[in-house]
């Protein structure tokens, strides 16, 4: 991005979609983001800000003039605006609200009153409603009179006089069925409406299970308050899946790859510190066997192998559990069956690789007892890893802690402790003079 | 699931959606799946089979009668049927093809001729097409004559006389605009059609970036061959995100939690074996310092700490890289900037935790030089971890290997080797009498 390239960048930015501009901004080092941003066409500001991750968004917002920010919010759908407005300076928020007409302001305030990770926070309240006792012909004339429909409207919602949700009327039915029929005869009633306080994760699951494109949202009294379309849910699905992988490494799922060094360092320091604490636990176990180690140095050479194999075996079980728990495949009721299976796998692989390690150790150090000891320690550690891999996530779930968060740190501590104790303990018993 | 509960299970299964039955099947141990399956209503067979993961699906198919299998394929959308048919016994496939009418058989064969992870494999070819030179009124009358539209049809596709894709006409426009206007005046032409050979991952990205609900698919000559709707893409998005987390642990993303023990053991054995090989590399490094270890046993006690901190630091960088590469945030052009940032983070955290470890080690073993050595080794290992965390995934990408696949095994080998060499090397230089 030298100044020569800058001149060529501007037309390129004009040709890109806001989502692509957002990706470009995320992949540019912090220092150059402001320059790129200044070349983004103003009409793309709003959508681009919606597409960048949280960190980059607040960075850009901080640097923008209030008037430009205000302009960027124009034309944003209500559900997106409700998320966006939370990141704006208070003064801009007030101006945004002031610039809206009464109906839209009320809509925005309604969406903002729900937590952003609930159906209420995901929904858009620009629904088109019709009555059950009119004919399709009347509905058709009403729509033609309106002239336009909100973005991605594929279905109309049928409500009673008191606003209670009764069913859906797809545009596909509207254009294919006999215009003289009543709405109530042809509407779909088999889809249960989502309640406004349903957690976003459950909304996402419902959409995936039923292959939905859009769904009605009702308040506790059954009154229609909005609709959720699948493009809002896609973000939830992706974020959820990404959440596990980032959390398992102690990272935030919105982590900016070019976050300021101080901020990145601070965040990761916490994770390294937690690991250090548990590493010292493992070191103390090793410390118990100082006398043995000073006599049989081969034990010190081989002990990382036992610990490492336990860690790998355990993390396979752990990953399977974390995914199974989040998909709902695994619960307390089938955990015992799963434990039995994982134990069997652990014993088989423990014996297999234990034998291999044992033979290599025997040849390397010319000591058959040492070979036997490492083989046995490896089997013990695989068994411990299986128990820990199944047990830790279940225990964390019971304590309402996200198993992805600390699961791997706790697991490797346990496999280290078991591995070192088993190997060095057996060594102390059978190898000392 | 004792026999008493069985009687209550049957009505429950009738009340469940196929997606929920699928989840139930996945969370039930293998031995009991057949019993549950026998209670699933026949009309749900098809959809349930589409929802279970690959492993459970082939297990169920194997146990089903050919006639029941044939019945299950009835009413399946073409795109789903194309995936499903690949898992069926040859004889059933032939019967399915024979039972279809010519038009549907040709459609199915067209979809099956594309790889399942391409736009062609994802698409459904039940599009409704209209000509550009007719009025909306004519389109409306044509649809009413048809009577029904394929599932999730929200848009019609406008094609030339030769079948070339020209634009889309949403049902929303059809019902709101003046019926006397021509299709060509009101159709949307700004969405570029997807080509039939576009990889599924790119299709998913396009849908997410442009917030699409459905999109046309064209052949290399620009002729419309089908449409992709977002519910097919959602599966791709979720599978992709899950792919990384499972692959990083050496698991298959479709892995059945209750896979047969022998199969699970065999799969994981490969991963453990790869790790064993690399663990021996690390052990050999330790072996080089046998003489040092036998004199200063404290080194053996503390060396797992250095290795473990390097592994954690490196895997944070690695995870950030793997995600950034898959999102397209990171490429070869900005890797150097990222390396500089990761190095800075590594130095800061290395100094911080190095100091903490150093002081603890000094107090524990009453040896200031030992404390200084472990602090320096920790800093060196954090730096090595940052370089490896950035470099390994880029190198793998260049070699066309999935960085999630072997990244963590290679990384921990490198951090182990660096950690052990630095710590034991410095120990040899400064601690021996």
Q: Does B372 touch chain A (CB under 8 A)?
A: no
For residue B423, what pLDDT is reported?
97
Residues 257-286 of B with CB under 8 A from A: 257-258, 261-262, 264-265, 268-269, 271-273, 275-276, 279-280, 282-283, 286
Contacts of A305 in chain B (CB under 8 A): 276, 279-280, 282-283
Which residue, B212, B247, B282, sits at the end of a domain? Answer: B247
**Of B297, B357, B420, which is closest to A276 when you measure between CB atoms?**
B357
- At residue B2, the pLDDT reads 53
Q: Which CATH number does the domain housing residue A407 bear? A: 1.10.357.20
| Domain assignment present for B9 | yes
Contact status of B5 with chain A (Cβ, < 8 Å)? no
Q: Is residue A97 part of a domain?
A: yes
Beta bridge partners of A228: A215
**Alpha carbons B68 and B89: distance in angstroms, whole number:** 13
Which residue in chain A has the smallest CA separation from B19?
A: A209
The reply to whether residue A249 touches residue B149, judged by beta carbons under 8 angstroms, is: no
Rounded distance between C-alpha atoms, residue A28 and residue A8, angstroms: 16
Nearest to B238 among A172, A237, A348 (CB): A237
Q: Which of B226, B237, B242 is nearest to B122 (CA)?
A: B226
In a domain, A121, yes or no: no
Q: Write out chain B residues lying below 8 Å of A329, CB-based.
A: 23, 26-27, 257
Please report the pLDDT score of residue B4 as a whole number.
64
Res A324: pLDDT: 87
For residue A204, which of A80, A121, A264 has the smallest C-alpha distance? A121
Among A191, A223, A248, identify where a domain stops.
Answer: A248
A270 and A162 assigned to the same domain: no
Instruction: Indicate the residue of B146, B271, B352 with minimum beta-carbon distance to A316.
Output: B271
Which among B373, B377, B410, B375 has a CA at the least distance from the CA of B391?
Answer: B410
Instruction: Say which of B213, B255, B318 has its CB closest to residue A152.
Output: B213
The nearest CA of chain A is from the CA of B52 a distance in Å of 11
Those residues whose C-beta lies under 8 Å from the C-beta of residue A303, and which sit 6 or more positions away, are A286, A419, A420, A423, A424, B300, B304
Average pLDDT, chain A: 90
Of A26, A293, A315, the CB nearest to B249: A315
A234 contacts B213? CB cut-off 8 A: no
Partner A, chain B 385-404, Cβ-Cβ below 8 Å: none
Residue A214 included in any domain: yes
- Asked if A140 and B234 come within 8 Å (Cβ–Cβ), the reply is no
**Minimal Cα–Cα distance from A115 to chain B, Å?**
23
Asked if residue A95 and residue A145 are part of one domain, the reply reads no
CB contact under 8 A, B353 and A272: yes
Q: Say whether residue A416 is in contact with chain B using an 8 A CB cutoff.
A: yes
CA distance A91 to chain B (A): 30
In a domain, B255, yes or no: no
Q: What is the DSSP string of B199-238?
A: BHHHHHHHHHHHT-SEEEEE-TTSBEEEEEEHHHHHHHHH
- Rounded-to-integer distance, Cα A361 and Cα A382, Å: 18
Tell me what pLDDT residue A136 has.
Answer: 95
Which residues in chain A are closer than 8 Å to B353, comparing Cβ atoms? Answer: 269, 272-273, 276
CA nearest neighbour of B268 among A318, A51, A281? A318
DSSP state of B44: G
Q: Please check whether residues A93 and A147 belong to one and the same domain.
A: no
- Are B293 and B398 in the same domain? yes
CB contact under 8 A, A304 and B324: no
A238 to B20: CB separation less than 8 angstroms, yes or no: no
| Total tally of structural domains belonging to chain B | 3
pLDDT score recorded for residue A134: 96
Closest Cα in chain A to B170: A154
Residues of A in contact with B348 (CB under 8 A): 261-262, 265, 269
User: Is A253 inside any structural domain?
Assistant: no
Q: Residues of A with CB below 8 A from B209's CB?
A: 17, 19-20, 51
CATH number, domain with residue B61: 1.25.60.10
Query: Same structural domain for residues A36 and A83?
Result: yes
Tell if the CB–CB gap between B249 and A319 is shorter than 8 Å: yes
State whether A345 and B144 contact (CB < 8 Å): no
A210 phi-psi bin (left φ>0, alpha ψ -120 to 50, beta other): alpha
Sort out which chain A residues have CB atoms less than 8 A from B154's CB and list them: 154, 171-172, 213
Which residues of chain A are modeled with pLDDT < 50? Answer: 1
Query: Do residues A391 and A336 both lie within one domain?
Result: yes
Residues A108 and A139 in one domain: no
Instruction: Provide the H-helix boundaries in A221-330.
Output: 230-248, 261-287, 290-295, 297-327
Hey, are the CB atoms on B283 and A302 less than 8 Å from each other?
Answer: yes
CB contact residues (below 8 A), chain B span 49-78, against chain A: 51
Query: Which of B301, B312, B324 lies nearest to residue A257, judging by beta carbons?
Result: B324
pLDDT at residue number A247: 83
A·B CB contacts under 8 A: 336
B85 and B140 inside one domain: no
User: Residue B147 burial (CB < 10 Å; 0-12/13-18/19+)?
Assistant: exposed
Q: What is the DSSP letter of B189?
A: -
Residue of chain B whose Cα is closest to the Cα of A357: B276
> Is B238 within 8 Å of chain A by CB?
yes
Q: Which domain holds residue A148?
A: 129-248
CA distance B214 to B217: 10
Chain B: give the shortest CA distance to residue A407, in Å: 13
Whether residue B399 sits in one domain with residue B292: yes
From the list A301, A334, A416, the residue facing B283 with the nearest CB is: A301
Judge residue B182's burial from the number of C-beta atoms within 10 Å of its C-beta, 0-12 exposed, 13-18 middle, 19 or more buried: middle
Which chain A residues are Cβ-neighbours of B345 within 8 angstroms? Answer: 261, 264-265, 268
- A171 contacts chain B (CB < 8 A): yes
The dihedral over CA atoms of B52, B58, B59, B61, expressed in degrees to the nearest 10, equals 100
How far apart (Å, rounded) are the C-alpha atoms in residues B298 and B283?
A: 17
Q: What is the CATH number of the domain that holds B206?
A: 3.10.580.10
User: Would you call B154 and A144 a contact, using CB atoms and an 8 Å cutoff?
Assistant: no
Residues B98-119 as b/e (b if ≥16 CB within 10 A, e otherwise) read eebeeeeeebbebbbebeeebb
The dihedral built from the CA positions of residue B306, B311, B316 and B320, taken in this order, carries a sign that is positive
Task: Specify if B416 maps to a domain.
Answer: yes
- What residues 339-368 of chain B have any CB closer than 8 A to a CB of chain A? 341, 344-345, 348-349, 352-353, 356-357, 360, 364
A146 vs B contacts (CB less than 8 Å): 176
Question: pLDDT of chain B along its 433 residues, tens only?
Answer: 455 667 778 888 888 888 889 988 988 888 888 889 989 998 899 999 998 988 899 889 988 988 888 889 888 888 888 888 888 888 888 888 888 888 888 888 888 889 888 999 899 888 999 999 999 999 999 999 988 888 888 999 999 999 999 999 999 999 999 999 999 999 999 889 999 999 998 999 899 888 888 999 999 999 999 999 888 888 888 887 778 778 887 887 777 888 888 888 888 898 899 899 989 999 999 999 999 999 999 999 999 999 999 999 999 999 889 888 888 888 888 888 899 999 999 999 999 999 999 999 999 999 999 999 999 999 999 999 999 999 999 999 899 888 887 788 889 899 999 999 999 999 999 998 7
Q: Are residues B292 and B406 in the same domain?
A: yes
- Cβ neighbours of B297 in A, within 8 Å: 290, 293-294, 300
Ranges assigned E (strand) in A128-221: 129-130, 155-159, 165-170, 194-195, 214-218
Domain's final residue, options A248, A280, A302: A248
Residues A370 and A274 both lie in one domain: yes
Any CB–CB contact under 8 A between A290 and chain B? yes
A146 in contact with B at a CB cutoff of 8 Å?
yes
pLDDT computed for residue A375 by the predictor? 97
Q: Which residue of B has its CA nearest to A28?
A: B334
Do B204 and B272 belong to one domain?
no
Q: Which residue of B has its CA nearest to A152?
A: B213
Residue A122 lies in a domain: no
């Amino acid at each position: 991005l030298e100044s020569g390239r800058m001149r060529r960048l501007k037309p390129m930015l004009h040709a890109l979609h806001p989502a692509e501009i957002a990706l470009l901004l995320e992949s540019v080092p912090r220092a150059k983001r402001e320059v790129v941003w200044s070349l983004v066409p103003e009409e793309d500001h709003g959508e681009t800000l919606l597409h960048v991750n949280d960190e980059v968004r607040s960075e850009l917002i901080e640097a923008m003039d209030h008037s430009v920010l205000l302009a960027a919010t124009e034309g944003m759908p209500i559900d997106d605006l409700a998320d966006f407005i939370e990141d704006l300076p208070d003064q801009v928020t007030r101006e945004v609200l002031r610039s809206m007409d009464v109906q839209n302001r009320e809509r925005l305030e309604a969406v903002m009153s729900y937590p952003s990770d609930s159906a209420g926070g995901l929904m858009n309240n620009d629904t088109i409603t019709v009555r059950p006792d009119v004919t399709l012909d009347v509905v058709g004339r009403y729509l033609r009179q309106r002239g336009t429909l909100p973005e991605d409207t594929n279905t109309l919602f049928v409500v009673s006089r008191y606003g209670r949700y009764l069913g859906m009327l797809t545009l596909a039915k509207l254009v294919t069925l006999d215009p003289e029929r009543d709405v109530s005869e042809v509407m779909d009633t088999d889809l249960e409406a989502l309640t406004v306080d349903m957690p976003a994760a459950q909304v996402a699951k419902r959409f995936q299970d039923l292959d939905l494109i859009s769904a009605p949202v009702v308040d506790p009294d059954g009154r229609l308050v909005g609709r959720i379309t699948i493009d809002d849910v896609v973000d939830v699905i992706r974020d959820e899946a990404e959440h596990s992988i980032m959390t398992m490494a102690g990272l935030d799922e919105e982590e900016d790859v070019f976050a300021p060094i101080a901020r990145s360092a601070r965040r990761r320091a916490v994770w390294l510190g937690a690991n250090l604490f548990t590493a010292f636990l493992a070191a103390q176990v090793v410390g118990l066997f100082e006398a043995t180690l000073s006599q049989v140095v081969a034990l010190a050479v081989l002990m990382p192998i036992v610990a490492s194999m336990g860690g790998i075996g355990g993390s396979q079980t752990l990953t399977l559990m974390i995914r199974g728990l989040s998909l709902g495949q695994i619960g307390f009721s089938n955990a015992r069956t799963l434990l039995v299976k994982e134990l069997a796998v652990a014993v088989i692989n423990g014996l297999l690789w234990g034998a291999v390690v044992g033979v290599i150790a025997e040849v390397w150090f010319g000591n058959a007892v040492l070979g036997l000891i490492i083989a046995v320690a490896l089997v013990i550690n695989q068994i411990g890893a299986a128990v820990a891999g199944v047990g830790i996530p279940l225990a964390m779930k019971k304590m309402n802690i996200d198993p992805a968060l600390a699961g791997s740190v706790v697991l490797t501590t346990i496999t280290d402790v078991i591995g070192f104790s088993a190997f060095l303990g057996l060594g102390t018993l059978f190898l000392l003079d």
